[in-house]
Amino acid sequence: MAGAAASVPEVSPRRRALVAALAAALALVAVFVGSRLLGSAEPGEPTDQAVAGPVLLVPGYGGGTAGLEVLAQSLREAGRTATVVPVPGDGTGDLALSVAALDAAAAATGPGPVDVVGYSAGGVVARLWAAQDPALVRRVVTLGSPHHGTRVAALGAAVAPEACPVACRQLIPDSPLLSELNDDDETPDGPQWLALWTAQDQVVTPPDSARLEGAVNVELQQLCPGIAVSHGQLPVDPTVTAIVVDALSGPEISAPGDAVCA
């Protein structure tokens, strides 16, 4: 009607939530792009291994932090500053958001490189972040991480695609994200790398998807014959804890001896 005020369409709660999520994602990405820690080595140069900075622990798909808090406490008892990084959307959304959250957490620790422990999909997040600027990272430890994807995600996408969100699809073997991440150098120069997994993993299948070219690779059952550790037990198993603490505390990452099996 002429002269009448134009009506403003009502914005649905779902649309408002989407806009808010996008705004939060953009803010995180801005932090990721803008925050470069001071005092780091130049890209491609070995990171100073003599300075043990803070440890950041990254949860996997589902975002559960309880197990990693147990591991973080063990690191604190060993004299390290350890923080579990909450991941947006329980780690089921685009892994780029988790990368941005890790970058923000690293920036908050102050100047200097950090150590990163990534559990399950958190190990993929750690690699994605470290690949941006390896000089920001001293050491990376991954626990049961689907570096080359997991058939469980492929099965989920095929059988129930509505129940396989973005991160699930990104963890399918040969997904665009993993193909690009593994295309050149799986362990960029700068940090030292340890990849650990259990042969009894029924979440990351095959279990040796957790292997990383160029890392110190540890299959628990090869190191400790007869040990029983599931995927979910990795962050709380005493043997795994001992390996992680040693890897982050010694002068360099080296293959663990079987003394940790006791």
Which DSSP symbol is given to 219?
E
Task: Answer yes or no: is pLDDT of 15 > 50.
Answer: no
Query: What is the share, in percent, of the chain residues with pLDDT greater than 70?
Result: 83
Over range 177-198, report the average pLDDT.
Answer: 96
Task: Answer yes or no: is pLDDT of 146 > 70.
Answer: yes
Q: What would the pLDDT profile of 94-133 be if each residue is shown by its tens digit?
A: 999 999 999 999 999 998 899 999 999 999 999 999 999 9
Return the CATH number of the domain spanning residue range 52-261. 3.40.50.1820
What average pLDDT does the chain have?
87
Give residue 111's pLDDT.
87
| Domain definitions of the chain by residue range | 52-261
Over range 189-215, report the average pLDDT.
Answer: 97
- The torsion of the CA quartet 58, 54, 190, 213, rounded to 10 degrees, works out to -30
Query: What is the share, in percent, of the chain residues with pLDDT greater than 90?
Result: 77
Residue with the larger pLDDT of the pair 15 and 71: 71
**Rounded Cα–Cα distance for residues 194 and 228 (Å):** 20
Structure tokens at 250: 């010694």
Task: Answer yes or no: is pLDDT of 12 > 80.
Answer: no
- The torsion of the CA quartet 115, 119, 122, 125, rounded to 10 degrees, works out to 50
Cα separations in angstroms, 61 against 146, 180, 239: 11, 20, 23
Write phi, then psi, for 73 (nearest 5 degrees). -65, -35
Q: What is the pTM of this model?
A: 0.83
Task: Answer yes or no: is pLDDT of 186 > 90.
Answer: yes
Contact 215/202 with Cβ under 8 angstroms? no
**Rounded Cα–Cα distance for residues 80 and 68 (Å):** 14
Write phi, then psi, for 130 (nearest 5 degrees). -60, -30
User: E-assigned strands of the chain?
Assistant: 55-58, 82-84, 114-119, 137-143, 192-197, 216-219
Give residue 42's pLDDT.
53
Task: Answer yes or no: is pLDDT of 16 > 70.
Answer: no
Q: What would the pLDDT profile of 203-213 be if each residue is shown by its tens digit?
A: 999 999 999 99
Give residue 50's pLDDT.
84
Over range 198-204, report the average pLDDT.
Answer: 98
**Rounded Cα–Cα distance for residues 205 and 149 (Å):** 8
